Amino acid sequence: MIMNRILHLVALAIIISSCASVDYTSESNSKPQVFPDYTDIVIPVNIAPLNFKAEAGSKLLSVEVKTRTETLTFKCPDGKMIWKKRQWHKLLKENVGDTLSYTLIISDTSGQAVKYAPFYQVVSPDSIDSYLAYRLIGTGYVLWDQMGIYERNLENFKQKPIVENKDVDNACMNCHSFSSQNPNTLLLHTRKYNGGTTILYNGKLQKYNTKTNISMSAGVYSSWNPNGYLIAMSTNLIYQRFHNNYTKRIYVYDEKSDIVLLNMKTETLTTCPQLSTRDMENFPAWAPDGRTLYYISAQARKDEDIDNFDKNVRYSLLRITYDEQSNSWSSADTLLRADDVDGSITYPKPSPDGRYLAYTIADRGYFTPYNRESQLCLLDLQTMETTIQPNVNSNSSESNHGWSHNGKWLVVGSKHPDNMFTKPYFAHFDGNGHFDKRFLLPQEDPDFYDSFILNYNNSDFITGEVAVSSIQLRNAIKSEPVQIKADPSVDIDGLSGATAKK
């Protein structure tokens, strides 16, 4: 009995001490600087706890979180706001559609405790896809050793490998894609060792060789048709140059590129002269209607272009329609010319409702992770109005974005704030052409990014865990590839860098 009372008293003391507010010496009208920046954002109801700390040089002392019904106060002796997972998820569920208001007391550089103006987090009822798939890789540009494709549960902090290259003789791997964020489908390229394209389709996992006599290379950048068996892929001859200018560092470009279409039902590759011109077609992206294919294209490179820093190599946005019944293509239609937007268009990604298309604009080329000037834009496909989206952009590069399956969230790869490492940011989309302020992938420890020196490449939403195990993937990648057949009705010479033979 006495023991119970003591325990109760101890528990009470702990609760009181943890909830006690911290004295402050002054108040500020400005909002606090926290890292990651989780101020004034819209968050999904199912997101992992958004733990944060004060920006470098100052220390977070206490956090007060107000909801419609309660006020929670946390002391932060180690300078970090770290939520208990259960408490966080309960809080979000109870406050769907409402706002969490945070009031912070931070000890500034001079040691003074300052109470800052509150910031908010709006709990959106729009849930985010529960997983994010990405490649983690270091900062090497030519060599590689260890890398892997990973999936991260966005509702907590668990990350596990989909497959790591150490299991497959250190093959280089990337360019993974899923059909409509469905984890029961997967496409993954490996090269150098165990090269090929491993595809999970219709429950079958198989490695293929997608290089045929009508394609200049194996498939590279891919997009699944919503029907789940047609996959548009680019074929590219890719090169890279290194800048002396530290802020630019590296330029990745194509000598040539085309687009091909892989039919998984027939294991056949097809294309058409419109997608295999002497110009450089790239980054195919299916519209949700399953008929329209968006892609980018730039004029064939001239010899002097590369020495001129490729200032003239700018991609336009095009579309073409495909009729599967007759295996026929329409003529290509230019939607947005590079000159119209005074830049190069890349990474076209139509929204799941088909109304919008998100793309990146940069000064040149199509591979923009090293283009600091690159910006994410949104094209309204009904009005053809295009806008740069300030809430998802920064003064660093933005690239490789992707939509969630409900079209309410966008993931953007950005090198903000260090200009060195790509990290995934999420932004809520209101369905009317407007993104809310983006926020960084949450980590359990807010110090995580202080010493994390890998890049999150090609982040893509998936609605659950990938349906196959790493062991199955390993075995498939290490198996002999099945040769994809070329469509005999296509008369294209892929080896010469495209264009119809005649």
Partner 1 sequence: MKKSIYRTIVAVAYMLLFGFVYFFIDPRCYNIFQQPGFVLTSEFFIDHFVQPGGLAVYLSLFIEQFSMFRFWGALFLVVELFFTSWLIVRIVKKISGTSDIVSAVFWLVPVAVSMIAWSDIKFPFAINMQVLLLAGVVNIWMLFSGRHMQRYITLLFSVLLYHMCGPVALYVFLLVNILVYASDHNKNSLLNTAVSAAVSLVYPFIMYKYVLPVSFEHAFYAVIPQQQKFICFGTSPVMVIMLFELPALVLIGLLSQKLVAKRQLICAGLVLLVLAGSVAVFFKKHDDRTERLSFRFAVAAHEHDWSYITKHYREGERYDRHINFYYNMALAQTKQMGDKMFLYPQFMGMEGLFLDDPMAGIECYPTSFLYREIGLITNSLHFAFEAHVSFLESHYVMRMIIDDLIILQDYANALKYLEKYSHEMFSKAFVADRKNFINGVGGTELDAKEVSLIRKNHPKYDFYLKNVQNDMLYMLAANKDNFLSNQYIIASALLNNDLNLFVDLLITGTCKVDPNNMPRAYQEALVLYWATSKNIKEKSYDFKVQPFLKDSFKSFSDILSSSETEKYRLVAQKFPGSYWKYYVFDNPQNKAK
Q: Would you tell me which residues interact with partner 1 (CB under 8 A)?
A: 138-146, 159, 161, 164, 166-167, 169-170, 241-246, 248-249, 251, 306-307, 309, 417-420, 450-453, 470-471, 474, 478
Q: How far is the CB of 252 from partner 1 (least distance, A)?
A: 13
In terms of CB distance, is 241 or 265 closer to partner 1? 241
Q: How far is the CB of 141 from partner 1 (least distance, A)?
A: 7
The CA-atom distances, in angstroms, between 315 and each of 290, 318, 346, 355 are: 23, 9, 7, 22
Alpha helix segments (H runs only) across 68-145: 85-94
The CA-atom distances, in angstroms, between 496 and each of 301, 493, 499 are: 14, 6, 8
Q: How far is the CB of 394 from partner 1 (least distance, A)?
A: 14
In terms of CB distance, is 141 or 266 closer to partner 1? 141
Laid out side by side, the sheet with 268-270 consists of: 250-263, 268-270, 485-486
Q: How far is the CB of 193 from partner 1 (least distance, A)?
A: 11
In terms of CB distance, is 227 or 470 closer to partner 1? 470
Q: How far is the CB of 145 from partner 1 (least distance, A)?
A: 5
Q: How far apart are CA 243 and CA 247, in angstroms?
A: 9
In terms of CB distance, is 262 or 466 closer to partner 1? 466
> How many beta carbons lie within 10 A of that of residue 257, not counting itself?
28
Q: Annotate 281-347 with three-state secondary structure.
A: EEEEEECCCCCEEEEEEECCCCCCCHHHCCCCCCCEEEEEEEECCCCEECCCEEEECHHHHCCEEEE
Q: How far apart are CA 164 and CA 141, in angstroms?
A: 18
Nearest to 395 by CA among 418, 378, 377: 418
Q: How far apart are CA 443 and CA 424, in angstroms?
A: 12
In terms of CB distance, is 274 or 312 closer to partner 1? 312
Q: Annotate 112-131 with three-state secondary structure.
A: CEEECCCEEEEEECCCCCCE
Q: How far is the CB of 471 from partner 1 (least distance, A)?
A: 6
Q: How far is the CB of 69 from partner 1 (least distance, A)?
A: 37
Q: How far is the CB of 158 from partner 1 (least distance, A)?
A: 10
In terms of CB distance, is 163 or 320 closer to partner 1? 163
Phi and psi of 19, rounded to 5°?
-100, -5
In terms of CB distance, is 159 or 463 closer to partner 1? 159
Cis? peptide before 284, omega within 30° of 0: no
In terms of CB distance, is 101 or 472 closer to partner 1? 472
